[in-house]
């Protein structure tokens, strides 16, 4: 028993070997190993081989783990290591040392990495996205582009020219009605007092405007090109002092041909208008039916509108009637301005104002001036609803009141307008 105990190292000798530094392991092991080999038996030699194999594997593993931990530690071999990425403002650049920064492997997922996207963008990036005039809204399922001239929003999957082609019955229009033009096609109701005649009225417009066909393109969603439209409206006047009697009604119908781009639009149009006195007015006033003015005209119109800024629209047109019946003369002119911020307004809306001048040859180019101001809402459809104050001063905008019934009107009131 005593001889077998001398063949193996004692507990104190093993502890001294394991506690020695790594570079001294071999020096500590060799003397002890030589002594035991001299006195070894076959069984002790086998046990020693197993022991040395385990010790060698342990030393190799400890050396690998220690080297990797030192490479990823703060300081040591990697004095530039930092758990945070450097940040800089849009106008500052990040200064780096001459030595490349060694990033720990657990922070490097790709070489090179794709760009990172964020919901926050700088002012310079926003300016680039807006371009010269249009406005781009990035936070949407699809890109939304707003026409800078008309304020009409469009949803599209492309931000470039889509190429020229045909569109049948497009939902939007290139040319819009004049906001303060009292004879334009729209849906509207205006309640006012005729100060000159001391009588309250409601002027109603029941109509609209739509595109039939278009040959053109879209740039950032805004339509450019040629467009054929159709427009029309009935415009009755109700007398509130006489149990809402129908005093008169005008009816119009037109087919405009339009060409337009971002800044300028042109119109060449044919339209017909006819005016009629109401039966209740004739009966109430005992007006001789044979003396009424059968006002009617078939006219060709050339017009243009210009957007010097996205919120401002200036326009003018000249019309010549190739057929003009009782009380109508060939020439008429319109001009004016519309103002409102472009784009969808949401529930809050935005202020607007509009002014229109209308000169007619049959009243010695005296015509009338009208103005409207108030609040406007524009949705994603691009159509507009407005409410506000109404002012009109001049010859009656019911053209039946010409000739023997010619009258001057001074209207002050308010209205609701739905424009296409």
* pLDDT for 48: 66
- Output the pTM of the full model: 0.62
Q: How far apart are CA 327 and CA 395, in angstroms?
A: 13
Spatial strand order of the sheet with 153-155 comes to 135-137, 144-146, 153-155
Query: What angle (nearest 5°) sits at the alpha carbon of residue 77, between those of residues 72 and 80?
Result: 75
Q: Tens digit of pLDDT for each residue in 273-315?
A: 999 999 899 889 888 877 777 899 999 999 999 999 999 999 9
Residues 6+ apart with CB under 8 A from 267: 175, 256, 257, 258, 301, 302, 303, 304, 305, 317
Question: What is the domain partition of the chain in residue ranges?
Answer: 2-71, 160-419
| Number of neighbours of residue 185 by Cβ within 10 angstroms | 26
* pLDDT for 238: 96
Residues 6+ apart with CB under 8 A from 26: none
Do 274 and 288 touch, CB atoms closer than 8 A? Answer: no
* pLDDT for 366: 87
Q: Tens digit of pLDDT for each residue in 238-266?
A: 999 999 999 999 999 999 999 999 899 99
- Taking alpha carbons only, the member of 270, 259, 292 closest to residue 399 is 292
Residues of the chain with pLDDT under 70: 1-48, 58-162, 381
Report how far apart, in Å, the C-alpha atoms of 189 and of each of 199, 248, 352 are.
Answer: 17, 15, 18
Domain 160-419 matching CATH 2.60.40.10: the answer reads no
Q: What is the secondary structure of 357-377 as a DSSP string?
A: EEEEGGGTT--EEEEEEEEEE
Beta strands 312-324 and 384-395, pairing class: unpaired
* pLDDT for 202: 97
Structure tokens at 107: 């922070």
């Amino acid at each position: 028993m005593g001889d077998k105990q001398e063949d193996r190292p004692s507990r104190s000798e093993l502890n001294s070997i394991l506690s020695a530094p790594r570079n001294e392991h071999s020096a500590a092991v060799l003397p002890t190993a030589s002594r035991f080999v001299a006195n070894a038996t076959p069984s002790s030699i086998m046990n020693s081989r197993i022991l040395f194999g385990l010790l060698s594997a342990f030393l190799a593993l400890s050396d690998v783990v220690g080297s990797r931990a030192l490479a990823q530690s703060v300081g040591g071999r990697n004095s530039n290591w930092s758990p945070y990425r450097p940040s800089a403002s849009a106008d500052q650049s990040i200064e780096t040392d001459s030595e490349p920064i060694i990033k720990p492997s657990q922070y490097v997922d790709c070489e090179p990495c794709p760009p990172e996207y964020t919901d926050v963008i700088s002012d310079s990036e926003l300016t680039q996205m807006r371009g010269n005039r249009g406005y781009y809204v990035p936070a949407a399922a699809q890109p939304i582009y707003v026409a800078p001239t008309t304020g009409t929003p469009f949803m599209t999957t492309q931000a470039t020219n889509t190429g020229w082609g045909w569109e049948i019955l497009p939902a939007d229009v290139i040319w819009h009605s004049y906001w303060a033009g009292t004879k334009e096609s729209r849906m509207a109701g205006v309640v006012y007092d005729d100060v000159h005649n001391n009588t309250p009225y409601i002027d109603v417009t029941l109509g609209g405007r739509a595109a039939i066909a278009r040959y053109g393109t879209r740039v950032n969603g805004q339509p450019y090109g040629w467009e054929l439209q159709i427009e029309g409206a009935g415009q009755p006047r109700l007398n509130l002092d006489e149990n809402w009697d129908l005093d008169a009604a005008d009816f119009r119908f037109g087919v405009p041909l339009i060409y337009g781009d971002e800044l300028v639009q042109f119109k060449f149009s044919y339209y017909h208008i006819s005016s009629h006195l109401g039966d209740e007015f004739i009966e109430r006033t005992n007006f001789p039916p044979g003396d009424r003015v059968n006002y009617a005209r078939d006219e060709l119109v050339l017009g243009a509108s210009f957007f010097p800024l996205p919120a401002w629209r200036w326009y003018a047109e000249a019309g010549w009637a190739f057929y003009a019946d009782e009380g109508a003369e060939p020439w008429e002119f319109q001009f004016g301005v519309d103002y409102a911020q472009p784009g969808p307004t949401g529930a809050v809306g935005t202020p607007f104002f509009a002014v229109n001048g209308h000169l007619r040859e049959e009243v010695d180019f005296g015509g009338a001036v009208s103005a409207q101001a108030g609040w406007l809402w524009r949705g994603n459809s691009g159509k507009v609803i407005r409410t506000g104050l109404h002012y009109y001063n001049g010859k009656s905008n019911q053209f039946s009141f010409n000739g023997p019934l010619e009258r001057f009107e001074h209207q002050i009131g308010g209205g609701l307008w739905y424009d296409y």
